[in-house]
Structure formats: structure tokens, C-alpha cells
Chains A and B, each alone.
Chain A
Amino acid sequence: DIHMTQSPSSLSASVGDRVTITCRASQSISNYLNWYQQKPGKAPKLLIYTASSLQSGVPSTFSGSGSGTDFTLTISNLQPEDYATYYCQHSYSPPYSFGQGTKLEIK
């Protein structure tokens, strides 16, 4: 099974900042990597699929990159609504797995 590791587990940043979250896969997953945003009490929301494709309706302040085993999610110009927990997920082959999450908090 493929294991996903995110870093950091938590992050404090200010409105207007640029932040980067990293996700590493235990083996190569090509570009089968997706990112989700989850706010308290809500279902996760798809942000980025296949490592760098922006889901429809998601602001262009979100971007993703990477391939193989190392991936990043970058949020530029942080807005108050961006404070949430972010998860990566591989879709290379079942069983699909998620990273442990990165909680983005207001500094």
C-alpha cells in the first residue's frame, strides 16, 4: 500500500501570506495526486487534481506541482476563508490513501 506523508502538520500564517504544504508518497505515483480543503463540520472539497489541475470554481491563488513522489500545494495571498485543514490523496491504485492533514491557522 502507498503511504502519504504531509508536512507540516500545522502552520500559522497571516492574511496575504504565501504558504506551501508538502506531500510525499512512499512510492512513485506519477501525477495521481489530489488536494482537498476541509473546514470544520464540512465535507472535504476538491481543490487540485492530477497534481496541478485546478478544479472548476477554485480560486487561482491555489496551485499544485510535483510528480513521482514529491508534491506541493501553494496558496498565495492567503484570505480569511482559506484557513482550514488540507489533505493530499493519491489515486494511483487502490487502496487510495490520504495524508494526515495540514491545519492552516491564522497568525
Chain B
Amino acid sequence: QVQLQESGPGLVKPSETLSLTCTVSGGSISSYYWNWIRQPPGKGLEWIGYIFYSGSTKYNPSLKSRVSISLDKSENQFSLKLSSVTAEDTAVYYCASRGYNYGFFEYWGQGTLVTVSS
């Protein structure tokens, strides 16, 4: 059973860069596409992007200019960086796995709340 755990600062200042890490256990990091998804308080879900084992990435065009997802195979981790944050980036950030086929998100982390505030 794959388990995911997000980690990182819970508070980020406006205009700075949000950085989160997701640690994968119980499964091979080569077996899935690794995704970030966020949910502003009281609102719906937004897909941010994914990285594959090969290092290939795909981002949501709405965030593409500010997003970077990277992979650390040796640590079984992948990371999110979101630059130039504003209050609108305040959200619960989830990491999630997506299989090779069909694109559903099978395993999720518990989520971590990131607040953008000075």
C-alpha cells in the first residue's frame, strides 16, 4: 500500500516561494505519476501538475509560469515549488499518485495547509 506524506512550512509570506515535499513509502517511485493538487479553504480541488519517474512534467496552464515539480529518486520524494505567492494560493496542498493508465488519483497524502500571509 502506497503512503504519501506532505511536509513543509505552513506559513509563507506574499511574493515568496512556497516549497513542499511529499515522501513516498510502500511503493516504488518508478510506478506512478506523482501529482500535486490543492484545495482553498471551503472550495473545490485544483490539479497543479505531475512529474513522472523519467523526469517529465506537466503543469496546469493556470499556474505554469510559477510552478516547478521535481523528483528525488534516492529519497523517494517529490517536491513542489510555487513562486510569487499571494493570498489566493492559501490552500490545503495534497500530493497524490496517478497510475500509468486512466489517470485517476488512487493514493493521497493527508494534505497540508499553507497560508500566505505577512
Contacts and interface: CB of A to CB of B under 8 A. Distances in A.
B104 A43 contact: no
Interface in A71-107: 87, 89, 91-92, 94-101
Interface residues of A, number: 24
Does more than half of chain A's interface fall in helix, strand or loop, or is it mixed? loop
A94 B58 contact: yes
A55 B108 CA distance: 14
Given A43-B111, A44-B108, A95 B102 contact: no
B61 interface: yes
Interface string A37-63: 000001111100110000100000000
Interface of B: 44-47, 50, 58-62, 94, 96, 98, 102-106, 108-111
- A-B pairs, 9 with minimum CB distance: A91-B103, A43-B108, A49-B104, A34-B104, A98-B45, A96-B47, A95-B60, A94-B58, A100-B44
Interface of A: 1, 32, 34, 36, 42-46, 49-50, 55, 87, 89, 91-92, 94-101
